[in-house]
């Protein structure tokens, strides 16, 4: 939106004089202001206090009727959070009508700050309610990534009334963490959102601030030149910062997951996981055996550290772009051929690949989109499959196929249920070593990673 300086000053002065409402809203929520100019900061109108939740939510489920109470399952970023409904169904909520800067696969200025702002607000909440952005009791719509478009309402007092709720989407706009996107003019809060956005623009909050304003959560320093071994040993030290590493691509899944390895002086093999988003732009990363240099941000996800914000554009190259050094290099961990007991014992490092020399028999499992989630009574939301197997030593070995792994059955079509594997023998297993709660497991990424056969019964 065009900022007309004179008009901006006049309108702000008028607003402040006529409606001197502080942004310290009804729930004690503080508004920050990144305008570092004169120090004579104007009072801002708390537009988030003007939008009222007017739908009864108790004992309703958002996915059915477009309004319902939820709890947080996982914070993703400034405009996406995973919630759980009262009936245990998972709701991957995409905050409607906003688009905060990125803080996952790509890292952008104000992205992490927006993400922390959302987390701070929801952690302070006693009650969280999702509504359809139309504010009608009608089933919600999802975006192309199967995320449900929602307004997120939260209250910080116990036993809240409807008046106690604040609209987090609106608060994000009011704070200048996002411009409004794709908002239909018939939505009930259309004007309030636009007034809040104008105020954020006029006051140059966060994304509307001049380039000289520093985002304390956005790293702008040089990338630290480190080895993959150093990353594995001291990842927390680099969290939030940029690192530069070199290694050989060992495997990848789709266009969003890449594993890179290197060998240390003592011969040990180390691996790192790169989350590359969904564009497939960083082409040198998507060929096994490529030796690459890459610069990325160290981020934490589900307790593990990973590299994100990989850059590559052959038409507008930058110094942080992924660089292809050489092709057709042997993958260091190709030498890791061992029985599964060695994987369980932690003989190999996580995020390296291993080929199992023994067979596993599937005893139980869960997951796959054809299966019903016993917690919710509906189909699993994604195709992740977990198998519990026994090895010849009688040990339990966990084999995991993440959502996005492409394993085909006998008919050539994708497998959508763990039961396809039930009782069968898995041979020629090759995958990436993972660790969760101190227990090692094997991730399979494609049909080529396993031979599936009927288990021979012993007479």
List, in sequence order, the alpha helices (H) in 284-352. 340-344
Query: Within 104-133, which residues bind other proteins (CB under 8 A)?
Result: 106, 108
Q: Closest Cα to residue 421, out of 355, 354, 363, 339? A: 363
- Count CA atoms closer than 13 A to 123's CA, side-chain side: 8
* Strands, E assignment, 193-268: 224-225, 242-253, 257-263
Size of the site for other proteins (CB under 8 A): 47
CB 289 within 8 A of CB 255: no
Dihedral angle, C-alpha 260, 221, 176, 204, nearest 10 °: -150
Question: Which is closer to other proteins, CB of 126 or CB of 448?
Answer: 448
What's the min distance (Å) between Cβ of 181 and other proteins?
3
Q: Closest Cα to residue 89, out of 374, 313, 279, 320? A: 374
Question: Which is closer to other proteins, CB of 134 or CB of 390?
Answer: 134
Structure tokens at 272: 């790192």
Q: Which residues contact 230 (CB under 8 A, 6 or more apart)?
A: none
Query: Within 194-253, which residues bind other proteins (CB under 8 A)?
Result: 194, 198, 252
Task: Rule CB under 8 A: say whether 419 interacts with other proteins.
Answer: no
What is the three-class DSSP state of 419? helix
Task: Rule CB under 8 A: say whether 330 interacts with other proteins.
Answer: no
Binding segment (CB under 8 A) for other proteins, from list 42-50, 276-284, 299-307, 321-329: 276-284
Task: Rule CB under 8 A: say whether 413 interacts with other proteins.
Answer: yes
Task: Rule CB under 8 A: say whether 380 interacts with other proteins.
Answer: no
Task: Rule CB under 8 A: say whether 394 interacts with other proteins.
Answer: no
Which residues are registered as beta bridge partners of 411?
Answer: none
Structure tokens at 431: 């995958």
Build a one-symbol-per-residue string for 343-372: x at contacts with other proteins by CB under 8 A, - elsewhere. ------------------------------
Task: Rule CB under 8 A: say whether 281 interacts with other proteins.
Answer: yes
Task: Rule CB under 8 A: say whether 180 interacts with other proteins.
Answer: yes
Question: Beta strand pairing status for 291-301 and 304-308?
Answer: antiparallel
Task: Rule CB under 8 A: say whether 179 interacts with other proteins.
Answer: yes
What's the min distance (Å) between Cβ of 8 and other proteins?
10
> Which residues contact other proteins by CB under 8 A?
1-7, 97, 99, 101-102, 106, 108, 141-142, 144, 146, 179-185, 194, 198, 252, 254-255, 278-281, 283, 286-288, 313-316, 406, 411-414, 446
């Amino acid at each position: 939106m065009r900022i007309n300086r004179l008009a901006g000053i006049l309108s702000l002065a008028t607003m402040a004089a006529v409606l001197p409402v502080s942004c310290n809203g009804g729930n004690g929520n503080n508004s920050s202001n990144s305008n570092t100019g004169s120090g004579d900061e104007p009072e801002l109108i708390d537009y988030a206090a003007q939008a009222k939740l007017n739908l009864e939510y108790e004992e309703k489920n958002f996915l059915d009727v477009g309004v319902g109470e939820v709890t947080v399952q996982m914070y993703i970023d400034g405009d996406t959070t995973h919630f759980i409904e009262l009936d245990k169904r998972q709701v991957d909520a995409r905050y409607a009508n906003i688009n905060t800067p990125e803080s996952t696969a790509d890292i952008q200025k104000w992205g992490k700050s927006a993400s922390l702002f959302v987390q701070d607000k929801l952690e302070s909440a006693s009650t969280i309610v999702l509504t359809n952005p139309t504010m009608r009791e009608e089933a919600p719509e999802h975006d192309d990534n199967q995320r449900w478009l929602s307004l997120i309402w939260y209250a910080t007092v116990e036993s809240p009334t409807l008046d106690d709720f604040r609209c987090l989407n609106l608060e994000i706009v009011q704070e200048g963490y996002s411009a409004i996107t794709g908002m239909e003019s018939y939505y009930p809060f259309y004007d309030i959102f636009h007034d809040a956005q104008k105020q954020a623009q006029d006051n140059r909050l966060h994304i509307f601030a001049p380039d000289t304003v520093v985002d304390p959560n956005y790293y702008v320093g040089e990338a630290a030149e480190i080895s993959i071994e150093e990353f594995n040993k001291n990842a927390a030290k680099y969290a939030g910062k940029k690192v530069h590493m070199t290694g050989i691509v060992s495997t990848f899944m789709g266009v969003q997951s890449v594993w890179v390895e290197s060998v240390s002086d003592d011969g040990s093999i180390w691996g790192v996981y790169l989350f590359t988003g969904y564009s497939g732009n960083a082409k040198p990363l998507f060929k096994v055996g490529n030796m690459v240099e890459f610069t990325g941000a160290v981020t934490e996800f589900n307790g593990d550290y990973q590299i994100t914000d990989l850059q590559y554009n052959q038409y507008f190259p930058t110094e942080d772009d992924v660089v292809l050094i050489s092709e057709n290099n042997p993958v260091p961990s190709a030498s890791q051929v061992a029985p599964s007991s060695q994987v369980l014992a932690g003989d190999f490092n996580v995020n390296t690949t291993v080929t199992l020399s023994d067979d596993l028999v599937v005893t139980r499992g869960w997951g796959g989109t054809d299966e019903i989630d016993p917690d919710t009574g509906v189909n699993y939301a994604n195709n992740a499959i977990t198998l519990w197997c026994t090895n010849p030593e009688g040990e339990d070995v966990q084999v995991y196929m993440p959502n996005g792994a492409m394993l085909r059955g006998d008919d050539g079509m994708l497998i959508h249920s763990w039961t396809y594997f039930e009782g069968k023998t898995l041979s020629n297993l090759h995958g990436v070593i993972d660790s969760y709660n101190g227990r090692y497991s094997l991730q399979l990424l494609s049909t080529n990673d396993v031979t599936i056969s009927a288990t021979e019964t012993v007479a």
